[in-house]
Amino acid sequence: LLNNRGYSYLLRGDAARANALFRQALSLSPDNPTINNNTAILERTQVIP
């Protein structure tokens, strides 16, 4: 759920909220490939505040 919400914010261009949600999701499931992939996409495409 956190990952999905984060991805939704990423698509809307809200990098700060997306980053916060991805980090929360990673704290619960650090080996999840989807969360790690979305975090990498965010880091490559956005300037994180």
The pTM (predicted TM-score) of the whole model is 0.87
Give the model confidence (pLDDT) of 1-49 as tens digits. 999 999 999 999 999 999 999 999 999 999 999 999 999 999 998 765 5
Contact predicate 29/11, CB 8 Å: no
Q: What is the pLDDT of residue 46?
A: 72
Q: What is the pLDDT of residue 40?
A: 96
Give the model confidence (pLDDT) of 21-33 as tens digits. 999 999 999 999 9
Q: Which residues are within 8 A (CB) of 15 and not within 5 positions of it... i.e. 6 or more apart?
A: 9, 42, 46, 47, 48, 49
